[in-house]
Structure formats: structure tokens, C-alpha cells
Structure 1
Amino acid sequence: MAAYHAGERAVQRRAGLEGQAAMGGRAIGATIPDVAAAFLAHQPMIAVGAAGQDGRIWASLLTGAPGFLRSDDPATLTIATRPIPGDPLAGVLAGPAKVGMIAIEPATRRRMRINGTSLPEAHGLRVVPDQVLANCPKYIQKRDHSFVAGEPRTPRRGTELTDAQRRAIGAADTFFVATAAPDGDADTSHRGGAPGFVQVLSPTRLRWPDYVGNAMFLTLGNLELRPEAGLLFPDWKSGTLLQLTGTARTVWDTAGLPGAQRLVEFSIDEVRETAQAVPLRWTDPAYSRFNPPVA
């Protein structure tokens, strides 16, 4: 259990999954094995989370032609890009920062998480990992990608969701959530489900079910000690990124939602939406067979 901090252990105990979590903890490494390096070299995107210059937690998406992620040695990941201007992580990643990252390959439903310290380089970032782990393929919707030309628009900022943003979240089948421990160690995770699994309760409140997973509770464990979180909703068709920052809490009453083991409620502090933020476009999804139905 040494792989986990106090918040993670507290959630594992409450869920009654300490034994399963202990087994999973043995799969957390501190270096990038060859098979993971090969996987990363084929990816066109990686989600990254960190505390921005404003101290809030944000999640963003870095993209590039396959090969922009490179691990030439097990103790280093190089990323041949940085966040675009106007991205809430652009400033903080211009210097050393603790980051949590997850690379997902929707076409094969594979994913890899890498947490560590990011350092700026001339044309991108160099990340020294301290946590490396593979995750199961559950709740990943299968998609194929292509690249298109275009320039990111100026981000739109607000403190609550517009009607169009509420509809987009209500129809989403995927998002990313970034959290951090009190010492700053960051983590970014994937959440997926059938369209409608994220409930928009109001222009400033969301709720989603926490489904059966790997029992590590890296996200909920961080929230147990530090409620700040950042959400990223990618628009697979247009390349638009919708980024939210705020606070989240775990609710242990599932309210009868299908497949829910717990619920997470999120309160929004700030919203940023950037049209054409990334050059990736994705096909219509083949939904995961593990997605519970949406009530």
C-alpha cells in the first residue's frame, strides 16, 4: 500500500476494496517500459493536468503527429509541443510543474497514465515520471482519427455554462478529469459512458456516476484531500476544447443511477472554450460494451 497516499487509502477502505487496490498498486512503476514507449510513439494526443498559474487545477490536450511523444530512455518522456496560447496551462508549463497525463488510443481502447515533473525545452516539454501505469479498456469509445489544417480561435471565458455548452456536455461520452494531492502531485484520468452519463444539474453544477474501475481511486483519493479539479470535454468532430475548473466531491449515495458505485458532483468556477483548439478529428464512436445504460 506504500504506492498510495492517505486520501486514496481512505476511499479504498470506504469502498471495501483495499485488497484489490493493494494488488493494483504493484503495477505502478516509476519508469516507462519498452512496451509503453512503443505505445506512446504511435499516439497523436495526450491529456495533461496541472495547477495553473492561478492555482486552480486545469486539464488540457496536447496533440501532434505520431512520434511527438518519445521515450528514448525509461526515465524520460519528451513531448514535441506545448499548450497553445490562451490555454490555462500555457503559463505554468513554461516552467517546472508537476503534471498528470493520460494517453488514450481510442481505436484500440488502450490507455497509459504518466505522472511526474514537467520541464520546458526549446520545442516542447521533458517529463520525468514518478508514476507509470496502464489502465483497463473499460468505457473507452472506439474512434479513428485524422488531421485537418486550421488555427485555434480565441478562447471564450465565463463563470457558467452557456446553453450550447450544457447541451454538449449532456451529449458527451468522454471527458478527462485532472486532480492533485496536497503536495501538488497531479493526476489525469479518463471518464467514459453512454451519452448522457454526465448530468448537467445547473449552469454551474455537474454530476456523473463513478463506475467499477481498477480500485486504485487515484482521482477520488486526491479529491478526498484536495477538492480542486479540472475537466476537459473534447469535441471529437470540431476540435473544440471545453475546459472547466472548480471543485468536486464524492457522494456515496448512488441515487439509483445504473452502474454507479458512487457519484461525483462538480461545481464550476470558470469555463474556457476554444474552437478548433486541436487539429484532430475523429469518426463516429463504437460505444464500449461496458457502458451502463443511462437512466
Structure 2
Amino acid sequence: MPHDADSPSPFHAGEQEMQRRAGKREMAETLGRRMIRPFMPDEHREFFAQLPFVAAGAVDADGWPWATLLSGAPGFAVSPDPEHLQVSLNGTAGDPVPTAIREGAPLGMLGIELHSRRRNRLNGRIISAGPEGFTLRVDQSFGNCPQYIQERDLTPANDAAPAPPQAFTTLPPEHSARIAQADTFFVASHIPAGADPGREGVDVSHRGGRPGFVRVAGNTLTIPDFRGNNHFNTLGNFLLNPRAGLALPDFETGSLLLLTGTVELLEEDHPDVTGFERAQRGWRFTLHKGLWLESALPWRTGPGRFAPQTLRTGTWAEARTNTRTSGK
């Protein structure tokens, strides 16, 4: 059942503080207690079982969070009961997330169906793991709205063998260009043991916008934070542990760009945020390490059909114009 009035808050200290800053603390607590469950309802269990991929977030041995996409034929993720999810691994060599999946480790998962724009979140802890897959025990399960998800139809593809991973610590120009044109990425964040006692965990979330919504300058990305569900799962984690893992899929080639690095939060009155349409605040990511996994995904798709909310957001080019016009 959802959290009752006598149980601890479903939100940790960082999430609660971000909710206070936004003036949404009481509302978020009320809705969170209704929405966030320590088990998966049947519709979520059925939802995960028919997906061809899930986003996942984990933490490597040095404490750096990574995000990725785990793929398989529908049924590769199944729920034997409301408290558990079993996932078969068909991992790409060099992907740090499968390497970090071990018994006792926290893991964040996001089921997302691109053609319907449905998504459901699942955070928990791994209770068994091996080369073929793992079982996750549910800590938190909740739905998310379809805002900013670009609608896409996936086509299976097995036409190219994955290439060896390419590691880098400085963004190559070709990857900077990919990021600058991206309309979708996934972000993993992590609160380590001790940051908020008893609340260690990993979360992975979706971010979407019009191409140009991520600004690239050298090794630094600046990302607006659009209006959402006021849970502040990602930014609340950043407040306690300013590290992030990003996964940017190249939908046309099936390749994955994975990044991990440090984060700086930008409040709503920051000059880099004020001119950006629908941005309440933002964050700045600085690269620590990156990986390029070519042909890592067993499916392809073309340009997405923009969500209505996406079309109402801005780009950094527009933000510069808005800022000059307003005199800020």
C-alpha cells in the first residue's frame, strides 16, 4: 500500500529541501505518500514485461554514477511478484552498469515505452546477480507523467556487431555535436550511505527537450530543468551528492554515449536559466569520463514526434535572445 501518515516520508533530505525551495513541499509530500509504493502494482509489472529496453543507473567501484539502456526481447524484464523484478542481461562489453550490478548494490530503473510515452520508475536493491541477469527488490515504485518524451517507434536491428568501447576524458567534437542536437537523454544520480542515514539509493530519470536544449561548452553541459512532478528526485540527489551519469542514445545508429561527472545546481534566478522558456532552474555537468558504445542497442528508430510540452520549451539560442531583450 502507499505510505501512511505514520510511516517515514518517501522523500529523503535532499528531495525535501528542493521541494521547500520550490514552494512545493506540502503538496509533494501529500502526493508522494499516495503515489510512491514499496511494491509494483500489477499494471507496472505488466508494463515492464512488455518493454524492449529499460534505462538503468548504477554506481561503479569509485563512486561514480552511470546510466545506460538495458535491452532484450520483450519479457527480458519480468516481475515474479510485486516486490521483485528479474532482468536478463545481454550487456555490451565495456558498459559500466552491468559491471556494477552485484548483490547488495542499489539500482535505479526507468521503464519507458516510446511509442506511447508511458513511463514508470523503480528503485531498489539487487538481491542476486550473475552473468545472465539479476533480481531487484523493490524499494520505491511510482509512475511518471509523459511530459517531454518524444514519441518513437522502434525497429529490431541485428545488422552490426558492437564495436569495442571508446573511452575519453575530453569530449571529442563529434560527441559534442551529438549532444548539442539531442532531444533525449537519461540521467542517473546517487545518494551514498551516510548522506541521509538509511536512504542510500540510485535513481535514473528521463530528460527531453527540443534539439539544442543541452548547451555544450568544452567538457561542460548546461541543462535546463523543466516543470515536472515536483518530486525533485534527481536534483534532490544532486544536492546531497553532486555527481551524475548521463546516457545519450543515438537512435539512428543504435549507439550509446555514456558520461559521468560532477554537477553544479543553478537556482531559478541564475542568469543561465532566466531566459530559458519553461525552465524553473538548471544544472551544469562537467565531464569526468565518457564512453562511446557503437551499435550497442538491438533496435533503431528515426526522429521523434515531439510531445506537446516539448514544443513549448526553449533552446539556448532562444534563451540568449530572451535575455538580451529583457535586459537581464
Q: What TM-score, normalized by structure 2, do the two folds share?
A: 0.87
The answer to whether residue 151 in structure 2 is matched with residue 132 in structure 1 is: no
Contact 2:93 2:165 (C-alpha < 8 Å) held by counterparts: no
**1:85-104 → structure 2 map (5 Å cutoff):** 85-104=93-112
**1:215-226 → structure 2 map (5 Å cutoff):** 215-226=230-241
Query: Could you tell me the percent identity over the aligned residues?
Result: 40
Q: Which runs of 5+ in 1 are unaligned?
A: none
The answer to whether residue 208 in structure 2 is matched with residue 192 in structure 1 is: yes
Instruction: State how far apart, in whole Å, the 1-side matches of 2:302 and 2:73 are.
Output: 17
SS in 1 for 2:97: coil
State the 4+ residue runs in structure 1 displaced beyond 6 angstroms: none
The answer to whether residue 82 in structure 2 is matched with residue 74 in structure 1 is: yes
46-55 vs 160-169, which deviates more? 46-55
For 1:31, the equivalent position in structure 2 comes to: 39
Amino acid at match of 1:178: A
Q: CA deviation at 1:65?
A: 0.8
For 2:246, the equivalent position in structure 1 comes to: 231
Contact 1:171 1:196 (C-alpha < 8 Å) held by counterparts: yes
Contact 1:24 1:216 (C-alpha < 8 Å) held by counterparts: no
Instruction: State how far apart, in whole Å, the 2-side matches of 1:89 and 1:212 are.
Output: 29
For 1:155, the equivalent position in structure 2 comes to: 165
Instruction: State how far apart, in whole Å, the 2-side matches of 1:110 and 1:225 are.
Output: 29
For 1:244, the equivalent position in structure 2 comes to: 259
Instruction: State how far apart, in whole Å, the 2-side matches of 1:36 and 1:282 are.
Output: 25
Match of 1:3 among 3, 6, 10: 10
Let me know the Cα RMSD of the aligned residues: 1.3
Q: Which runs of 5+ in 2 are unaligned?
A: 1-7, 194-199, 319-328
Pairs aligned (count) = 294
For 2:287, the equivalent position in structure 1 comes to: 268
Q: Deviations over 1:197-219 (max 9, x none)?
A: 011022x1001110000000010
Distance 1:43 1:175, change over 3 A: same
Q: What TM-score, normalized by structure 1, do the two folds share?
A: 0.96
SS in 2 for 1:244: strand
Contact 1:24 1:215 (C-alpha < 8 Å) held by counterparts: no
Amino acid at match of 2:290: V
Q: CA deviation at 1:94?
A: 4.3
For 2:304, the equivalent position in structure 1 comes to: 285
Q: Deviations over 1:156-205 (max 9, x none)?
A: 01101111100100000000000011324100000001111011022x10
Instruction: State how far apart, in whole Å, the 1-side matches of 2:60 and 2:155 are.
Output: 30
Instruction: State how far apart, in whole Å, the 2-side matches of 1:200 and 1:218 are.
Output: 24
Higher CA-based Rg? 2
Instruction: State how far apart, in whole Å, the 2-side matches of 1:218 and 1:180 are.
Output: 10
Contact 1:82 1:90 (C-alpha < 8 Å) held by counterparts: no
Amino acid at match of 1:120: A
The answer to whether residue 185 in structure 2 is matched with residue 175 in structure 1 is: yes
Q: CA deviation at 1:82?
A: 4.9
Contact 1:24 1:214 (C-alpha < 8 Å) held by counterparts: no
Q: Deviations over 1:61-115 (max 9, x none)?
A: 1000111110121011011115322111232214432101101101001001100
For 2:59, the equivalent position in structure 1 comes to: 51
Q: CA deviation at 1:233?
A: 0.3
